[in-house]
Amino acid sequence: MSDFVDEAIIRFELNNTKPVDLLDLTQSLSAFAEAYLDHAVSAGFEPERGNVRLAVKAITTGSIIADLASYSEQASIILKHVDVAAGFLTHFNEIAQFFLGKRSGGVVEPARREAENVMKVFEPVAKDGGSNLILQTNGPLFQVNGPMTINFNFNSQEANAIQNAARRFLGPRPPLNQIEQDLLLTLHQVRGDAASKVGDRGIIESVSLNPVKLLFASEEVKKAILDEPYPFRKVFLVDAEIRAAEGKPALYRILTVKDVIKP
């Protein structure tokens, strides 16, 4: 049973001066949630991705204020939601400051996925010159005078600067409509029949964070993935043909499965 934890609320407050595109807002919140999942694993709070999640607990009118609650699908002996929330916002701010050029000593260079997520999170703010984004949560409960409040505020100018720096950091996207070698593939949805030609979708983060239709060059190639225990928990090193439509990846034709990696 899912367990909502009231003290682990993260407030995502967008103070906008113009109407916000619904797609931009949902993409921003989705990227924020994806970053939260990644942090829960990389910081050692969860052994594998997917157990702990963010869910919208309440949305307030006026400015767009979304209260996001941390919850888990199953009990964890090491998970403390309030610590994950505080650590995540601190880490997210470090990434933002990295792209603002305010790099404190010991800050680790962000991963490509982190750069792509931060760009999406700040999209609604960057498009509205008078807006700002406030991220807030209560900190760990070890403070002498009670829990501290963690609060970060970003204006539109900073959001634009973060996005521009992240784009330079990422560099040009790999060309589409060609064969690429040694790509890392994770599964989003796969039919259990090796002969099935429809319904398979996967993610190759170096090309796109979104799931894309998969086509396997042969039944043997698909079987190499299906025969793996718990394939959705694995990362597959593949050669693939990337095909595009309207400038975006529309199909990955998986040619060879070269290796299997457990994250």
Same domain, 212 and 158: no
Per-residue pLDDT, 137? 86
pTM confidence score: 0.64
Which residues in the chain come in under a pLDDT of 70? 1-8, 46-51, 61, 71-81, 104-107, 139-148, 173-175, 263
Give the separation between CA 59 and CA 110, rounded to whole angstroms. Answer: 30
Same domain, 185 and 164: no
Same domain, 160 and 186: no
Same domain, 221 and 247: yes
Give the separation between CA 64 and CA 159, rounded to whole angstroms. Answer: 17
Same domain, 165 and 72: yes
For residue range 216-244, list pLDDT tens digits in order.
999 999 999 999 999 999 999 999 999 98
- Residues 205 and 195: beta-carbon distance below 8 Å: no
- Residues 215 and 251: beta-carbon distance below 8 Å: yes
Q: Which domain holds residue 191?
A: 178-261
Per-residue pLDDT, 83? 76
Per-residue pLDDT, 6? 43
Please report, for the domain that includes residue 204, its CATH number: 2.40.50
Same domain, 150 and 190: no
- The domain total for the chain is 2
Residue 63 per-residue DSSP state: T
Bridge partners (DSSP) of residue 132 are 15, 155
Same domain, 52 and 154: yes
Element (H or E) spanning 253, and its range? Answer: strand 248-261
Give the separation between CA 103 and CA 96, rounded to whole angstroms. Answer: 10
Same domain, 127 and 247: no
Per-residue pLDDT, 105? 61
**Cβ contacts of residue 149 below 8 Å, gap of 6+?**
136, 137, 138, 139
3-state secondary structure at position 195: coil
R_g (Cα) of the chain, nearest Å: 20
For residue range 168-218, list pLDDT tens digits in order.
988 876 667 889 999 999 999 988 777 777 789 999 988 888 899 999 999
